[in-house]
Every structure is written in C-alpha cells, then in structure tokens.
C-alpha cells in the first residue's frame, strides 16, 4: 500500500514538472514561433 502512495506522489511530481515546462514554453511564445522552431534541426552546424 505504501508503494502505491509513493507512486501517487511520483505521478503528481511528474505532472507538476510537465506543467512547469508547459508554462515556460507558453511564456517564451514558442507556439507563435512554431514554424521557426521546427526548422532548428535543419540549421547549419557552426
């Protein structure tokens, strides 16, 4: 039973991490520059 409770908290932690990354992405206006970001892998190697 204790393992289940531990798993619950791990899942909540992962969800919180995902939300944090999502907020970071939205604040950086990544969705507005989605096309530009999608081309990053094609950039010249410096």
Partner 1 sequence: MEWTPALPALASKGGASCAALCLHCGNPVPGSRSDSYCCAGCMAVHRLLSEAGLEGYYGLRPTRISPLLDYFERRASLAWLEGHSGAAAGSVDLAVEGIQCAACVWAIEKLARRDGLVRLGVNSALGQLSLRFDPERFDLRRYLALLADFGYRVRPLDGGPLRSDPSRGLMLRLGVCTAITLNTMSFSLPFYLGLSEQGGDLQRWLRGLSLVLTTGAVIYGGSYFFGRAWRSLRHGIAHFDIPVALGLLAAYSGSLWAFAQGRADALYLDSVNVFLTFMLLGRFLQERTLLSNRRRLLSAEAFSHATVTVLGPRGGRTGDGAPLPASPRWGEEQAASPRWGEEQAAGLRGAEALAIGPQQAEELDSSPLELPWTRVDTGARMLLQPGSLCPVEARLDGGDALEFDLASLTGERQPVAIAGGGTVRAGARLISSRPARLTALAGFNASSLAALLPQERGQEDLPVLWRWSVKVYVFFVLIAAFAGLVWWWPQDSGRAVQVFISVLVVTCPCGLGIAVPLARTLADQRLARSGVSLRQPGVLDRALTVRQVWLDKTGTLTLADLELTDGGALDRLDEAARRALMGAAGASRHPVSRALYHELAARGTPYPEEGIAQELPGEGVRYQDRSGDWFLGRSMDPSGDAWAELRHEGRPVASFGLQERLLMDAPASVARLRAMGLGLGLLSGDQPARVADMARRLGLISAEAHASCTPQDKAEAVARQPSLMLGDGLNDSLALSGATVSGSPAWEISALADQSDLSFASGSLTWLPELFATARGLHRALWGNLIFAWSYNLLLVALALRGSFSPLLCAVTMPTSSLIVSAATSRLLKR
Q: What is the DSSP string of the chain?
A: -HHHHHHHHHHHHHHHHHHHHHHHHHHTTTTTTHHHHHTGGGSPP-
Contacting residues toward partner 1, per CB under 8 A: 1-2, 4-5, 8, 11-12, 15, 18-19, 22-23, 26, 29, 31-36, 38-39, 42, 44-45
Least distance (Å) from partner 1 to the CB of residue 33? 6
Least distance (Å) from partner 1 to the CB of residue 46? 11
Least distance (Å) from partner 1 to the CB of residue 18? 6
Please report, in angstroms and rounded to a whole number, the separation of the first and last CA atoms in the chain.
Answer: 53
């Amino acid at each position: 039973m204790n393992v289940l409770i531990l798993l619950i908290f791990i899942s909540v932690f992962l969800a919180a991490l995902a939300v944090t990354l999502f907020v970071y992405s939205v604040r950086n206006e990544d969705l507005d520059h989605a096309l530009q970001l999608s081309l990053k892998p094609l950039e010249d190697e410096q």
